Amino acid sequence: MTDNGTSEPVQPPQPSANLPALRRELHAQLDDQASSPTLDVRVLLRLLARNHASFSRSVDASAGASRVLRALVAACGDRPVNVDALADAMERVAAPKPSALVHTLRALSDELAAADLMDHADLAELRRLTQQLDVPDLHRVAEACLPPLSADLPPHCTSAWTTALHLLRRNVLPGSLPPLLAFIEYVAAVQPSPAAASPLKQWTEAKATQWGAAQDLLSARAEASRFAGSTPPSDSRIMIALFPDGLRSDLYTLRTWHHDPETTNSPSMRGEDAQVDFRQIAQAAYDSIKRWVRRLTRRESVCVEFWLPLTLFNQPVWEWCTPGGNEEGLPHLNVIVRSLERLQLPVLHPPWRNRWEHLMDAKAHHPTFLHEHRSGAYSGASDLVVLSTPPDATTGRTELLAALRNGAPVILWHREDCTSAAFRQSVRQLIEEGPLKDLPSRVSALRRESLHATDEKEEAARGITLLWDDPDRLLPTMPTLVAPGWEEREPAVGMPMLTARGEAK
């Protein structure tokens, strides 16, 4: 059976050009492994027998360790299932740290399996395209193209080629693109030029057509494009969302998540919901941040996102994080505001994503200062907006709503006075000092530097608030919220109704 499902005479798998090199590397490692004090060949053979690895039955356990290992490798033949079984057993014997021999066995198994799973000409073309390809942050690229909770890449996946071979063996979920094709699409998206990406895309298009996955490929290509334009989530992330009660204007449900980038390909962890009134928000937020920071592996820099309704946009979020200016040993915090309303209104998402992609692609960034558009000339078509008044004033609220409707992903304002020359100059410097993707960290650094300042410029910096809405970094879940204790409430259109326990009905 060929890739497109037609029958033809069965042809023996063509040998990979890499197989001889892998076998030479494997045999060079056998003697080193045989001399390891942790290796007990009798235990190794018992493990193979327990796992029904029949190829090991003819091996004499009384021979020296080196001869036993060589006999086992020879007995594996060209069958990936045998090589996998040997690698599994070796990994257990060599625990807690797998040896280089185990990694070579895994790579050998992938090479052998690829010859069975893919046509020789297609495999040769894939090798030509990927073997010398440099992919920065390879594991992040691979994780992005895989479904949530997928197994981590094994250690032998150190290049685009070895990763592609491994993903060729991964199962395809219903309605999903084969992991290999998704990976090559994401690799193409992070290439430095269209010319470098074009051959990779041509290969995936040909394979997707053969495998009947052309439509899935288009969806994956769009996701890969957004991924390539987004900021790598290298910082730890704490998300604090405040949902209005709906009946009492001063009551909110505080919901928290945190994500540790050191825990690869894992979901964000969610905390317990808390019902707080307006006066309790600052203390509840601060307690949540302290609690989550203790659980994070990477603490050098932590991004704190406040997902707020419009009524809370101009609240002192920085003071919520560091009441009284006392950080009590907290790491550097990059504090930003996120829009809860925009997240909940899908009709606003297309212009939002388009504006974000345009913002990330632009070579230079020119903020739109709305105080310069008092005559009504402002059309709302801007990626980076600076309000003319704080958003708790009528004019500022109107400007903010217009910017959100038109998809502006980055909005800046001063909590007290957006008209001062010192504030506007600070904004220009922040934008021009470096890559825009680092704007949240620059705003946060300026805020820290200004804590004890007395001059006008640094006092202006203390009031800067940044709305930084990256559409590729959303809340982990977004169910309709009901006030705790209410079993039923009229659901939003298209959203599930929840019980008080958060269960979908």
Lowest mean pLDDT among 25-34, 354-363, 440-449: 25-34
pLDDT given at position 457: 62
What is d(CA 126, CA 203) in angstroms, rounded to the nearest whole number?
8
Q: Long-range pairs for 28-35 at CB < 8 Å and ≥24 separation?
A: 29/99, 29/100, 29/101, 29/104, 30/66, 30/69, 30/70, 30/73, 30/101, 31/66, 32/100, 32/101, 33/69, 33/90, 33/94, 33/99, 33/101, 34/64, 34/65, 34/66, 34/68, 34/69, 35/65
pLDDT level of residue 306 (50, 70, 90 thresholds): very high
Contact 389, 465 (CB under 8 A): no
0.85 cut: is pTM over it?
A: no
Q: What is the mean pLDDT of residues 18-44?
A: 77
Written as one letter, the residue type at 149 is: L
How large a percentage of the chain has pLDDT more than 70? 80
If you ran DSSP here, which 8-state letter would residue 132 be given? Answer: T
Q: How far is CA 168 from the centre of its chain?
A: 21
Q: What is the mean pLDDT of residues 84-95?
A: 81
Lowest mean pLDDT among 22-26, 159-163, 419-423, 476-480: 476-480
Q: What is the pLDDT of residues 201-235, one digit of tens each?
A: 999 998 888 888 888 888 888 888 877 765 555 57
**Is 70 exceeded by the pLDDT of residue 353?**
yes
Copy the structure tokens of residue 185: 């699409």
pLDDT level of residue 267 (50, 70, 90 thresholds): low
If you ran DSSP here, which 8-state letter would residue 76 be given? Answer: H
Q: What is the pLDDT of residues 484-503, one digit of tens each?
A: 444 333 333 333 333 333 33
**Is 50 exceeded by the pLDDT of residue 8?**
no
pLDDT given at position 314: 94
pLDDT given at position 278: 93
What is d(CA 393, CA 386) in angstroms, rounded to the nearest whole number?
14
Q: What is the mean pLDDT of residues 255-273?
A: 74
pLDDT level of residue 251 (50, 70, 90 thresholds): very high
pLDDT given at position 484: 45
**Is 80 exceeded by the pLDDT of residue 443?**
yes
pLDDT level of residue 397 (50, 70, 90 thresholds): very high
Q: What is the mean pLDDT of residues 29-56?
A: 79
pLDDT given at position 495: 32
Q: What is the pLDDT of residues 130-185, one digit of tens each?
A: 988 888 888 888 888 887 767 778 888 889 999 999 999 887 777 678 899 999 99
How high does pLDDT run on average in the chain? 79
What is d(CA 77, CA 488) in angstroms, rounded to the nearest whole number?
63
Length of the chain: 505
Q: What is the mean pLDDT of residues 371-376?
A: 63
pLDDT given at position 100: 82
pLDDT level of residue 468 (50, 70, 90 thresholds): very high
pLDDT level of residue 187 (50, 70, 90 thresholds): very high
**Is 80 exceeded by the pLDDT of residue 480?**
no
The per-residue b/e assignment along 90-109, b for 16 or more CB within 10 angstroms, e otherwise, is: bbebbeeebbbbbbbbbbbb
DSSP H or E stretch at residue 334: strand 332-339
